[in-house]
Structure 1
Amino acid sequence: MNYEYKVSCNMNYKNLSVLEFISLSRTGNIDLQDFYSKFMDEVSRIHKKLNVFVTIVDVKPDKPKGDLFGLPVSVKDNICVKDIQSTAGSRILKGYVPPFDATVVKRVKDEGGIIIGKTNQDEFGFGTFCTNSGYGITRNPVDPERTPGGSSGGAAALVRALEYPHIALGQSTGGSISCPSSFCGVVGLTPTYGLVSRYGLIDYANSLDKIGPIGKKVEDVALMLSIIAGHDPMDSTTIELEKKDYTKNLSKDVKGIKIGVPKEYFQGVNEKISENVWKCIKELESLGALYEEISLPTTEYVLPAYYIIATAEASTNLAKFCGMRYGAEEKVEGDFNEYFSKVRTKYFGDEAKRRILLGTYARMAGYRDQFYLKAMQVRTLVIEDFKKA
């Protein structure tokens, strides 16, 4: 990936796009020490106003390399970064410092990306408004009285507020990239399940989790997807695909592309939102794309099935957080059940407790067939809907 830009004599870092930064950094026209000094001052200012981070890193840039060549990258707090506290937005993991990098983080570092911190989120991804974090509420930079969306709220809010070049890594189980990106007016990409490795992710629901980029421009997320996508032997669910340069698609037109528009997705939607979406569809049509209104009849069952599947998997995943191996702990008194209950009661947030209870109930003998297995059957019907469409 080669990008060339002319150097301005009075270069203002705030005016640089991601691709301009990489080009100028590669040609030696950016002093990374000076850049990061100003960049981190701006990050601190934004954090004080909006509470976008759980942990901010004391950045010491090394010699740049690779396709990112010193670019700042923030990481959602449920993606493990070696030697940096990673809590998934939960008090129960406060103080947990992973001894390894998640695959996506390793790939970012290998291409010269510099990790600047861990962004705030709803605890373990349990929320749509970034209000369920154990580390305070994140605010929307467009209007601090409003939510930035969730659960990757810190990531999207930082991308919108920060005028410097930067890309965020977010994560989605059921809308946690697209929702905050929409709320903050930035570009978020939720990849197809299995396209990006989940190794090193503190899971919410294994069969639903995806890691993806959030940036100011489409070219930013295309660049980051090119770096983090691809098969990973550490994650058996990743797809056996050759690595691709997704930025090459940016120069192609949309002529002949066919777009399916599910009519069910416009039911109960705010009129202005619906108008804006249709405006974009018509714009694509004017550029040569084709669209067809389709029906996905099982849409009404998607959310109930999602909550049963996701909470069932979450209750299993969170069972290991008991005050023995990771994060928060207390003085061991009484039997193990008493100790585990004391730690989990004290350090899990209310929403985490609700989802653990719901998921455990759905997996209990006598209810598993009635709830969990039926939700899995609905999931299959939803997949078939998409295949038929």
Structure 2
Amino acid sequence: MMRKLEDHLGEHLMLVKGLDKEIVEKAETRWDTIAKPLRSLGLLEKNLTKIAGITGTLRPQIRKRALIAMCADNGVIEEGVTQTGNEVTAIVARNMAEGSTAVTVMAQAAGVDIFPVDIGIVTEGDCIEGIPEETEEIKPRTLLNRKIRRGTRNFAKEPAMDRVEALRAILVGVKLVGQLKAQGYDIIATGEMGIGNTTTSSAMAAALLHQPVEKMTGKGAGLSNEGLDRKIRVIKTALVERDVMPGDPMDVLCKVGGYDIAGLAGVFLGGAIYRIPVVIDGFISSVAALLAEKLLPHTTDFMIASHVSKEPAGALVLEALGLKPMLCCEMCLGEGTGAMAAMPVLDMAFTVYDTMATFDDMQVEQYKPL
């Protein structure tokens, strides 16, 4: 089974090609002809140019937008590293489908269809078998069942998941991107929900970036100072006792990761495979992006950073990815809220690029690089 899954993922990854450099150059030239100082819109210009290179068109569009929110529980909450229990994961996931969470309200304002995914919620639905080969249309505001298992195992006592489960979770993300691309979506944002997932993310970030656990760990959803100390101790002990190998990203994922992170890593890989831009949300999805980049170098060419999380490691992970966020709003809600906040900024970039007068239109001499 594991070999079949590895081969299946490998076949997908072999399809990946880099950005269309010719289109990138033409998009940069287009920006330089617009009647404003050169490169004066900064990341707005760079991100639109990247989207042009991803899609291979000089006039890309982001009319149809999706948010994939991976929802899963984490066994490590048994160690008292969270303020609430795993019942909250199911409640929020259902509310995402019903339209009554912060991210769904923001998604509606940004014109984004939300696709919440049960990839490992403890209290919902049945587990799936094998690799889902869905052919029918998937509909927004429906809690999609892609459950690998009812939550990961407690990584303080044993590895969080086995390699087969990890590969299946990654392929869930890849397949969803393929389906949404086939349904005409132009851009995909990432989000997540899972009590305990700042613990898994901090553990993975510390291992993958060879950083002290204390530097990569924050209070998540409202821990006390005592709770934060406990969280740090649990992660530090687990990294040693599980003998986590930082040089092997799959080992890091299997031993201290989460199904939501694995699924989102698949979404980022899917962005590269299916040539569709994927927007990073906050800390958890940035760790998933880091995992994807470790699995397939240059996957970041297909990613856009929305904002920098207030979590301590938020900026460090983006720096490691070589990406700069468009927004700094001190947000740490997750769910995809930062990615939703960035959508109107991208809209403004597209509007300027598509409609603003050029120097020739205004009969003004064009700026030249000095």
Q: Under a length normalisation based on structure 2, what TM-score does the superposition of the two structures give?
A: 0.28
Higher relative contact order (CA 8 A, sep 6+): 2
Looking at secondary structure, tell me which structure has more helix per residue: 2
Q: Under a length normalisation based on structure 1, what TM-score does the superposition of the two structures give?
A: 0.27
Larger radius of gyration: 1
